[in-house]
Amino acid sequence: MFIVFKNLLTVKCIKKILKIRHVKFINDFNKNILLTILNENQCSRIIQRHFRKKTINDDTCPISYEKLKYPFISFKVNDVFLYYDFNTIITYFNKTRNFLEPRTRTFVSDTKIEYINNMIRYYFGKNSNKIIITDTMIKNAELGIITFCLHDLATEINSKNKLQIDDLYNNFLPRLIYYIHILKKNHCYKDYCTILNAFIKSIYTFIQNADLIVDYVCASLCLNIT
């Protein structure tokens, strides 16, 4: 049955209903807007419930074995929606570090994990320790950090008229060796070659002794710089 909420409800009552339904960020709205949000929420709940009944095979979470209640997470596999308790699937991914849909063992993409993380931020706050981080997310973050560090290193080199030999061997080369080691160890050939090629091309080779930096990178990776 579809229920339409009327203007007879007080603002306090409307906010209380929205809070029970986990609708957030409503404190600054007036009564008319709050009432619109509530009725739209009511419509969406009915539509979602209708389609969920057609696609759901079981109303029990296959991990916790408890009856599903909102909010929950669904995975679409072969045109079938598989539903999991929100907190249970978060705990499962964080503890097992196994990013496969538990029933079918289908790979769960980072896009889907980020969708779950957005829900976590919504319900538990931006600084929640429940955020799920996959291995590829860690690698991408590491790649971004090293790229920034190499850019910073190139900027420091280019700011000098001459690279002193002591500074070169005690400061610049140790940092460069460390970055190359991490790139070769944790990232694919294409990624680290692209990054190091860009690094080499960003160095002003007219700076005295800068060619030693370029030669080291070329020798260590056998890159052909054009």
Q: Which of 124, 150, 183 is where one domain is finished? A: 124
Answer yes or no: do 109 and 70 share one domain: yes
* Residue 86 forms part of a structural domain: yes
Same domain membership, residue 118 and residue 139: no
- Exposed (0-12), middle (13-18) or buried (19+): which is 186, by Cβ within 10 Å? middle
As a whole number of angstroms, the distance between CA 43 and CA 46 comes to 5
* Distance (Å) of CA 82 to CA 79, 107, 193: 10, 14, 41
| 205, two tokens | 């080779």
Residue 6 lies in a domain: no
Which pLDDT tens digit goes with each residue over 87-133? 999 999 999 998 999 888 899 999 999 999 999 998 888 889 999 99
**156 and 188 co-located in one domain:** yes
Are 176 and 213 within 8 A, CB to CB? yes
Residue 130 lies in a domain: no
Are residues 102 and 89 part of one domain? Answer: yes
Which residue, of 124, 155, 170, is where some domain finishes? 124
117 with 151, same domain: the answer is no
Q: Where residue 67 sits, what CATH number does that domain have?
A: 3.30.40
The pLDDT tens digits for 136-166 are: 999 999 999 999 999 999 898 888 888 788 8
Domain count, the chain: 3
Confidence of residue 221 (pLDDT cuts 50, 70, 90): low
Looking at the fold, whether 86 and 22 belong to one and the same domain comes out as no
Which structure tokens are listed for 44? Answer: 């969406």
* Residue 30 CB neighbour total at 10 angstroms: 8
Tell whether 154 is covered by a domain. yes
* Interval 163-218: pLDDT, tens: 788 888 888 889 988 998 898 888 888 888 888 888 888 888 778 878 888 888 87
Is residue 47, in this structure, part of any structural domain at all? yes
Q: Do residue 70 and residue 148 come from a single domain? A: no
Residues 157 and 195 placed together within one structural domain of the fold: yes
In-domain check, residue 80 = yes
Q: Is the pLDDT of residue 225 over 50?
A: no
26 and 89 share a domain? no
Residue 1 is assigned to a structural domain of this protein: no
Residue 192's Cβ-count burial label (10 Å; 0-12, 13-18, 19+) is buried
Full residue range of the structural domain in which residue 75 is found? 56-124
Q: Indicate whether 226 belongs to any domain.
A: no
Mean pLDDT of the chain: 83
Residues 48 and 76 in one domain: no
Are 33 and 88 members of one domain?
no
